[in-house]
Amino acid sequence: MTAKTVFILNGPNLNLLGAREPAIYGRDTLGDIEAAATAKAGALGLTVDFRQSNNEGTLIDWVQEADAKAAGLIINPGGYTHTSVALLDALGAASIPKIELHLSNIHAREAFRRQSITAAAADGVIMGFGAAGYSLALEALKNLIDNPALK
């Protein structure tokens, strides 16, 4: 059986994980998260293409690439969650299963962070579990990939 590839896309400032507001985002670095996600994906029979960009256009290009090449997509849009109609449109155009992910519970944060524009195009949202959310998102995505009727 060939492993199915899933894209894990990370938005602005997530390259600063481990140093940026660890009381909110935890002490794991993005490299730590990538290593754990790669291991979890392998256990699920998946492979990951793990990326991070601070640029909205790059993330949009990667969503379109994922739709053409991957079995599913996990995205942590970072600050674009609350502002990017363009990213919403790209996610909406993608036909593969999609999970939106947040390290913190955005509903327990500042008022401007409580609205996710991009979630409307996701099949599900996982938030508030810190770095462990990536593992949970992989399990949920695997379920959607294996059971297309759930999408």
For the question of residue 102 being annotated catalytic, the response is: yes
**Residue 35, Cβ neighbours under 10 Å: how many?**
13
The alpha carbon of residue 22 and the mean position of all alpha carbons in its chain are separated, in whole angstroms, by: 19
The catalytic residue among 80, 82, 102, 134 is 102
Calpha distance 115→26 (Å, rounded): 22
Calpha distance 77→63 (Å, rounded): 11
3-state secondary structure (DSSP) of residue 19: coil
For the question of residue 82 being annotated catalytic, the response is: no
Q: Edge-to-edge strands of the sheet including 124-127?
A: 46-52, 4-10, 72-76, 98-102, 124-127
Six-digit token string for 151: 């999408």
Active site residues: 25, 102
